[in-house]
Structure 1
Amino acid sequence: MLVNGVPLVVDRLIQAIEHDGLFTEGLYRKSAATSKVREVKALIEEDCAAVQYAELPVHVLTTLLKAFLRELPEPLLTYDAYDPLLHASHLPDVWEQQEAAYKIISNLPELNLKLTSRLFFHLAKVAHLEQHNRMNCNSLAIVFSPCIIRCNRSLPVPESLSDVSKQTLIIERAISKRLEDYRDTLSRIERVDSEAASTAAKLHHLRESKKAAQRQSSNPVAGSNVKPDPRMALHEYNLEER
Structure 2
Amino acid sequence: VPDFLKDCILALISQDLTTEGIFRKSGNIRGLKDMCDTLDAQPNRHDWLDFFQAQSNVQLAAFIKRFLRELPEPLLTWKLHKLFIMSSKATTLIGALSIMHYAICILPKPNRDMLLTVLALLHWIAQHSAHNKMDYENLARVMAPNIL
TM-score by length of 1: 0.56
For residue 20 of structure 1, what is the aligned residue in structure 2?
Answer: 15
TM-fit CA distance, 1:95: 4.0
State the distance in 1 between where 2:119 and 2:126 align: 10
1:155-175: CA deviation from partner (whole Å, max 9, x where unpaired): xxxxxxxxxxxxxxxxxxxxx
User: In the alignment, is residue 94 of structure 1 matched against residue 93 of structure 2?
Assistant: yes
User: In the alignment, is residue 37 of structure 1 matched against residue 32 of structure 2?
Assistant: yes
For residue 122 of structure 1, what is the aligned residue in structure 2?
Answer: 121
1:64-111: CA deviation from partner (whole Å, max 9, x where unpaired): 111110000000001111111111122123343233212211210010
Contact 1:21 1:27 in 2 (8 A): no
Pairs within 5 Å for 1:1-242: 6-47=1-42, 49-50=47-48, 52-149=51-148
TM-fit CA distance, 1:117: 0.7
Q: Which runs of 4+ in 1 moved over 2 A?
A: 47-51, 93-96
Contact 2:86 2:99 in 1 (8 A): no
State the distance in 2 between where 1:25 and 1:95 align: 33
1:41-70: CA deviation from partner (whole Å, max 9, x where unpaired): 111112253552111111111111111100
Higher relative contact order at CA 8 Å, sep ≥6: structure 1 or structure 2?
2
Report which of the two structures shows the higher radius of gyration computed on alpha carbons.
1
TM-score by length of 2: 0.90
Contact 2:17 2:57 in 1 (8 A): no
Q: Quick one: which amino acid aligns to residue 41 of structure 2?
A: E
How many residues are paired up?
144
State the distance in 2 between where 1:101 and 1:115 align: 16
Q: Quick one: which amino acid aligns to residue 108 of structure 1?
A: L
RMSD, matched Cα: 1.5
Higher helix residue share? 1
Unaligned runs of 5+ in 2: none
State the distance in 2 between where 1:95 and 1:19 align: 36
